[in-house]
Structures are given as C-alpha cells and as structure tokens.
Amino acid sequence: MDYQTITLDTREGIAVITLNREEVMNALNTQMRAEITHAVVAAGQSARVVVLTGTGRAFCSGQDLGDRANAANLNLERTLRDEYIPMLMAIVDCPVPVIAAVNGTAAGAGANLALVCDVVIAAESASFIQAFSRIGLIPDAGGTWALPRTIGLQRAMGAALFAEKISAAQAAEWGMIWEMAPDHEFEELWMARATHLATGPTEAFKRIKQVMRASFGNGLEEQLHLEGQLQGQCGKTRDFKEGVMAFLEKRAPAYEGR
C-alpha cells in the first residue's frame, strides 16, 4: 500500500508507524484508519515490535470532524463497525508487542487508540482526553472496555462524564499508561523500550499478549489451563533453550526471534 496519511519505517526489527496528518493534529479519517490497519498487519508479519506514534504536537486528536458536511452525515455505528474495529483488532491480534509512544495530545478515539496498545509510553507534555461527551457522544474505540480495566470504574466514569484533560503524570499515577518521560528523553526512552522487545524472546511475547488479554474473559481454572498450554508451547522454542543456556553460562541471551 502507498501510504498517504502515515509513514512506516522498519529497521532492526522495529516497525515505527507515524500518524502524519499534522495539519489536523493527526485526526482519524477513513483513509488513515485503513492505512493504520494495513501497516499494523504488515509490520506484525516482519518486525519484532511495532511502535505507533504521531507527528507534531499531537498523537491523535480523534475522529476527523473538520469536514462539516461529512461529519453531519457520518454513520457512527457503521464507521465503528467497518473501520475502527478492524484497526483496533489488528493491534490486539498483532503477534508482536505494540507500543503507543504518545508524543502529545491524545483525544477521543485517539486516546483510546493508544490505550488499546500493549504498552503506552507518554511524553511529559502529553495528555489524554475522553472528549466524547463534549459533543453528545459516549467513549468509543474501546474506551469503555479499556478505562474501567486500567483505572477503575470511578475514574473511568469521571473521565467520560467530565471530559477533562488527564495529564501524562496523572495517567501514569493512575495506571492508565506504563510510564511517562520528560519530553527531552521521550524518544530515547521509547526507542530503548522498543529495542528491548525487538531483541527479546518474540514467541514468549506473543503468548504474553494472548494470555493477558484472555484473562478478562476467563475464570481462574480456565486461565490456569491456558497458562499451561501456552507455557508448554514456550518450552519448545529455541528462545527458551537459549534463555536457559545463557542463564547457566552467565551471559546475555541472544534471542533469534521467529
């Protein structure tokens, strides 16, 4: 695919997808959603980690409402079903870890695009806003699923009802995101995190994603059986053998990936 609204740069096992509509704060339109979906699927087949970030002062400002004619005729249910769900599930189902490197404002669906990723790292100047109720909507793009699970029902309710800006520091304190970094250290940090994952045991990471996400729908016994099944698979990988040998030989492991 010839990308027009994003860029995809892959090197040394790290695929960086950059939202590139700076003039509208990387707002999501039909083309961008399709391109993100395609890029995540493609990157998941070749890279060992995917990073989703934005250009300019925003990570993503959410649904593009700039075109008033199109906004007025927008079929929200169809758009969510046909465009958002494939994009979000591409991230969830991606066989390698997906990092959201939130460089600036993440609002509405843009905030929830970040939260559906496996790990969220934010710059200190970044912020998260569940802006939906400001225009008479409910949180979508997975926000009603992610928020209660990450920050609890009370905070999720407050974020949705009041639609107030949540700073990166507050998001980190609440457990909404993994970590925050000062702006001048932000890119160095997320790249270091991505490099760690790109040189790690890829098959184990794949199964960590699977088992953690499955836990929300499983009872304890079900989850214990799934753990056993996936651990058995991990035990047959080259990475497991290498990890054990490296431990015994007191050296850093050299994981080969898939």
pLDDT value for 65: 85
| Domain positions in the chain | 6-198, 202-248
- 1 pLDDT band, cuts 50/70/90, is confident
Backbone angles phi, psi at 63, to 5 degrees: -60, 135
**120/98 Cα distance (integer angstroms):** 9
Residue 244 pLDDT exceeds 70: yes
- 67 pLDDT band, cuts 50/70/90, is low
CB-based contact 66:31 (threshold 8 Å): no
Mean of the per-residue pLDDT values for the chain? 95
pLDDT value for 233: 95
| CATH number belonging to domain 6-198 | 3.90.226.10
Gyration radius of the chain's alpha carbons: 19
What's the token pair of residue 217?
């729908």
- 73 pLDDT band, cuts 50/70/90, is low
Backbone angles phi, psi at 101, to 5 degrees: -100, 95
pLDDT value for 258: 62
pLDDT value for 237: 94
pLDDT value for 74: 74
Give, rounded to a whole angstrom, the gap between the first and last alpha carbons of the chain: 24
Q: Where do the DSSP E strands lie in 20-117?
A: 49-54, 58-60, 98-102, 105-107
| Identical fold between 6-198 and 202-248 | no
- 145 pLDDT band, cuts 50/70/90, is very high
Is this structure's pTM higher than 0.85? Answer: yes
Residue range 9-34: mean pLDDT, rounded: 96
Q: Tens digit of pLDDT for each residue in 146-198? A: 999 999 999 999 999 999 999 999 999 999 999 999 999 999 999 999 999 99
pLDDT value for 72: 60
Q: Tens digit of pLDDT for each residue in 84-143? A: 999 999 999 999 999 999 999 999 999 999 999 999 999 999 999 999 999 999 999 999
pLDDT value for 66: 79
pLDDT value for 75: 87
Backbone angles phi, psi at 41, to 5 degrees: -65, -45
Q: Which of 93, 20, 52 is nearest to 193 (CA)?
A: 52
- Overall fold of domain 202-248: Lyase 2-enoyl-coa Hydratase; Chain  A, domain 2 (1.10.12)
